[in-house]
Chain A
Amino acid sequence: MKHLSEEELVAHFYGEAADRSDPGGSDPDGSGEDRSAEKGSIGRHLNACAECAERLAALRSDLAALHFAEPPARDEGYGKQVWAALKDRLPAYEAEKARWARIGVWRGLGYAAACALVVMVAFFAGRAWEHRHQPQTAAAKNPQAQKQVILVVLGDHLDRSERLLVELKHADAGSAELVSPMREEARSLLAANQVCRQDARQMGDPALGAALDRLDSLLNELANEPGGLDGAAIARLQNEMNGEGLLFEVRVLRSRMPEVQTGRSTRTNGGTI
């Protein structure tokens, strides 16, 4: 028969169950379901084992004989005395903390609300701006309006071309001071003529397109004549222009353009009248 250990006896004395196979106890929190079973097991052993019962009696006797000094009595006013001693040492920081915590919360909420307001204002301002500018964009995309713009540009281009052709018609070898501005104007018109030819093709106007093609050829020669414009070159270009009736054709085309500008300025070489 395996006798009870001292620890088991102590645990039994205090009403704490102990696992006989494990001195540390299988019921670590001391409140397991099998506590009563263990106590029953130890109790049965004590009934059967005189030696262990004698050891338990000795333990009980030793512990029962202990008489420690009882705590000095405290009167009913003891709690008040303790509170009086403590009272001044306790800061009332809890209320302060709660108030500051509330302020912190409100401050955080204020910041969040301000941020939300800024975002909302920016959003609605953006939408309003978009609405305000949308009609202009629509007008720009209007085909009718686009065509109107093209006509204006074409009219201006034909106007300038007509003036250049008139100058070329009246130029001669002696008017050397006019040659250089004519060539510069021809270069400028040449670039604009490229755009106008594309516009003419888009508009589906073959007469205009053909005239601009011939004008392009003339402007090209006028602007890029190798060795500059001498009397022979000017005469050749005049013949070419007259032979094709280019000046007349340009005038006819320009007259077809709608007058979109009432006081249109008239350009001459080097200035505006």
Chain B
Amino acid sequence: MEKQDHAAVQAVLTGDKEAYGALVERHSARLFRVAFRMTGNEADAEDVVQDALLRGYQKLAGFESRSDFGTWIYRIAVRCALDRMSRSRRHEGARVAEEADPEAGEMQLADGAAGPERLLLSGEMGAMEELALRSLTPLERAAFVLRHMEEQGCAEIGAALGMEPNAAKQAVFRAVEKMRRRLAPLRVMR
């Protein structure tokens, strides 16, 4: 597949725009998956995929032939998703503050009257985990998603997020610590 990708890249660079279609069809699903995991939103993930592929096309002349196109466009998608998460966080900052109390390290539940059993049964647990994930900074969430869900190594996470591998490792560690702290109340329900 890598050879096919390189051939398509060369074709695009020599003026065959249609050749990029093959690259788009080959890598879109993977980009959507990571974009969704990072943004947590289907519409945002769709936009991230298109942004990443558009940005990739514009930067294609700088693509080094010895690199893997899949890895290259994946990193671009991660950056696009991170940008979108940062913008969303700035936009939703006030609302998030209403939902959680960072000082107390506690999370407000949607329905205080509901018991633990009901929460478990109704799938609210998943929602809480999603909220815990949202309480992370965009960088921590990105690092956690790439490490925990995408199973990327710290070196690759650092490359994707534009930071040193050790900084990526620290971001993963901070994310895990925050997640565990946020979800500690659920531990007693299990």
Contacts and interface: CB of A to CB of B under 8 A. Distances in A.
Interface in A111-150: none
A121 to B, nearest CB: 39
Contacts of B129: 66-68
Interface in A94-119: 94-96, 98
A227 interface: no
B20 A90 contact: yes
Residue among B147, B154, B186 with max Cβ neighbours from chain A (10 Å): B154
Contacts of B37: 68, 71
A172 B51 CA distance: 121
Interface stretch (B26-34, B78-86, B88-96, B102-110): B26-34
A25 interface: yes
A90 B57 contact: yes
Interface in B149-166: 149, 153-155, 158, 164-166
Nearest to B187: A62
B21 A30 contact: no
> Is chain B's interface secondary structure helix, strand, loop, or mixed overall?
helix
B15 A65 contact: no
Interface residues of A, number: 39
Contact of A28 (B16, B36, B165): B165
Contact of B166 (A24, A78, A89): A24
Contacts of B57: 86, 90
B148 A79 contact: no
Contacts of B177: 6, 10
Interface residues of B, number: 55
Nearest to B21: A83
Contact of A83 (B15, B24, B158, B179): B24
Interface string A1-33: 000001100110010101000001100111100
Interface in B116-174: 125-126, 129-130, 133, 147-149, 153-155, 158, 164-166, 169-170, 172-173
A11 B173 contact: yes
Given A16-B153, A72-B36, A79 B60 contact: no
Nearest to B60: A94
A59 B21 CA distance: 44
A59 B187 CA distance: 11
Contacts of A273: none
Contact of B153 (A6, A24, A31): A31
Residue among A59, A89, A94 with max Cβ neighbours from chain B (10 Å): A94
Given A10-B173, A16-B154, A63-B176, A68 B164 contact: no
Nearest to B127: A69
A219 B21 CA distance: 109
Interface string A50-93: 00000000010011011111011010001110110111011010
16 contacts: A10-B172, A14-B172, A29-B166, A30-B153, A62-B180, A68-B129, A69-B130, A71-B32, A82-B49, A83-B28, A90-B54, A94-B12, A94-B17, A94-B61, A95-B14, A98-B14
